[in-house]
Structure 1
Amino acid sequence: MNQLLVYRCILIITFIAGSCLLYSCKDSEHYDITGDTENRVYLPVGSYTVNAYNKYVFSVTHTPAGSIGQNIGAATPVMCTHPASADLKVSFSVNKSLVDTYNAEKGTNYSQLPDGMVDFNTMELTIPQGQLSSADFLEFSIPAAKYSQLTDSAYLMPLEINSVAGTGKATVSSNRNVVYLMIRTSQTNVYSNTVAGDMVGTLISPRSGWSATLNADLGYGSLSNMFDGRTNTYWYVTPAKRVALTVNLNNTYPTIRGIRIHSYSTTYGLTSIRVSTSTDGNSWTSQGSASLSTVAAYQYIKFYSSVSARYIKLEVEGWKSASYVIMSEFDVYTSN
Structure 2
Amino acid sequence: MKNRKNLFYIGMFAICVLGFTACGDDETYDVYGDPYNRVYILDNSKEYKIVQTPISTVSNVDFTWEARCSKKASGDIRVTVAVDNSLIEAYNEEHDTEFEALPVEAVMLENAEMTIPAGEMVVADAVHLKLTDDANVLSTLKSEKGYIVPLRIVSAEGANSQLSTNMLAPSFLTITVTEDNMNHEATQYTGTGTLVADQTGWTATTNGTVQSWYDPIESIFDGNGETYCYISNSSGDLWLDVDMGKPYSFDGIRMMSSSYYGDSGSFSAGMTVSTSDNGTDWKAQGEIESDAEDCVFYAPLTARYIRITVPNAGGWYGASLECGVFNVYAK
Q: State the TM-score, normalized to the length of structure 1.
A: 0.73
Q: Does 1:151 align with 2:142?
A: yes
Q: 1:43, CA displacement in angstroms?
A: 2.6
Q: Structure 2: state its 5+ residue gaps.
A: 1-31, 259-263
Q: Does 1:191 align with 2:183?
A: yes
How far apart, CA to CA, are the structure 2 residues paired with 1:315 and 1:154?
24
How far apart, CA to CA, are the structure 2 residues paired with 1:187 and 1:197?
21
Deviates more, 1:135-144 or 1:195-204: 195-204
Q: Does 1:227 align with 2:253?
A: no
Match of 1:172 in 2: 164
CA RMSD of aligned residues (A): 3.2
Write the mapping of 1:118-129 to structure 2, written as runs, cut at 5 A: 118-129=107-118
For residue 303 of structure 1, what is the amino acid of its counterpart?
A: F
CA contact (8 A) 2:255 2:267 kept: no
Q: Which of 205, 208, 218 is residue 213 of structure 1 equivalent to?
A: 205
For residue 101 of structure 1, what is the amino acid of its counterpart?
A: A
Structure 1 residues 212 and 318, CA, compared in 2 at 3 Å: closer, same or farther?
same
Match of 1:247 in 2: 242
Match of 1:58 in 2: 48
Deviates more, 1:173-182 or 1:112-121: 173-182
Q: Which of 263, 287, 301 is residue 290 of structure 1 equivalent to?
A: 287
For residue 41 of structure 1, what is the amino acid of its counterpart?
A: V
For 2:97, what is the secondary structure of its paired residue? coil
For 2:94, what is the secondary structure of its paired residue? helix
Match of 1:276 in 2: 275
Structure 1 residues 259 and 292, CA, compared in 2 at 3 Å: closer, same or farther?
farther
Deviates more, 1:192-201 or 1:129-138: 192-201
How far apart, CA to CA, are the structure 1 residues paired with 2:139 and 2:295?
24
Q: Does 1:92 align with 2:81?
A: yes
For 1:256, what is the secondary structure of its paired residue? strand
Match of 2:320 in 1: 325
Structure 1 residues 138 and 310, CA, compared in 2 at 3 Å: closer, same or farther?
closer
How far apart, CA to CA, are the structure 2 residues paired with 1:149 and 1:309?
24
How many residues are paired up?
288
Q: Structure 1: state its 5+ residue gaps.
A: 1-33, 45-52
Match of 2:21 in 1: none
Q: 1:177, CA displacement in angstroms?
A: 4.3
How far apart, CA to CA, are the structure 1 residues paired with 2:67 and 2:316?
46
Match of 2:27 in 1: none
Cα-to-partner distance string for 1:107-147 (whole Å, 9 max, x where unaligned)? 21111122333122332111112101112222222114222
CA contact (8 A) 1:66 1:148 kept: no
Structure 1 residues 272 and 162, CA, compared in 2 at 3 Å: closer, same or farther?
same
Cα-to-partner distance string for 1:87-114 (whole Å, 9 max, x where unaligned)? 2111122221221222122121111122
Cα-to-partner distance string for 1:58-90 (whole Å, 9 max, x where unaligned)? 211223x14422243333332123211222111
For residue 150 of structure 1, what is the amino acid of its counterpart?
A: L
For 2:89, what is the secondary structure of its paired residue? helix
Structure 1 residues 36 and 208, CA, compared in 2 at 3 Å: closer, same or farther?
farther
Structure 1 residues 307 and 151, CA, compared in 2 at 3 Å: closer, same or farther?
closer
Q: 1:232, CA displacement in angstroms?
A: 5.8
For 1:224, what is the secondary structure of its paired residue? helix
How far apart, CA to CA, are the structure 2 residues paired with 1:189 and 1:100?
32
How far apart, CA to CA, are the structure 1 residues paired with 2:217 and 2:234?
17
Q: 1:162, CA displacement in angstroms?
A: 0.6
CA contact (8 A) 1:112 1:157 kept: yes
Structure 1 residues 219 and 268, CA, compared in 2 at 3 Å: closer, same or farther?
farther
Q: Does 1:202 align with 2:197?
A: no
Q: 1:285, CA displacement in angstroms?
A: 5.2
CA contact (8 A) 2:225 2:257 kept: no
For 1:105, what is the secondary structure of its paired residue? helix
> How high is the sequence identity, in percent, across the aligned residues?
25
Q: 1:325, CA displacement in angstroms?
A: 1.1
For 1:196, what is the secondary structure of its paired residue? coil
For residue 60 of structure 1, what is the amino acid of its counterpart?
A: I
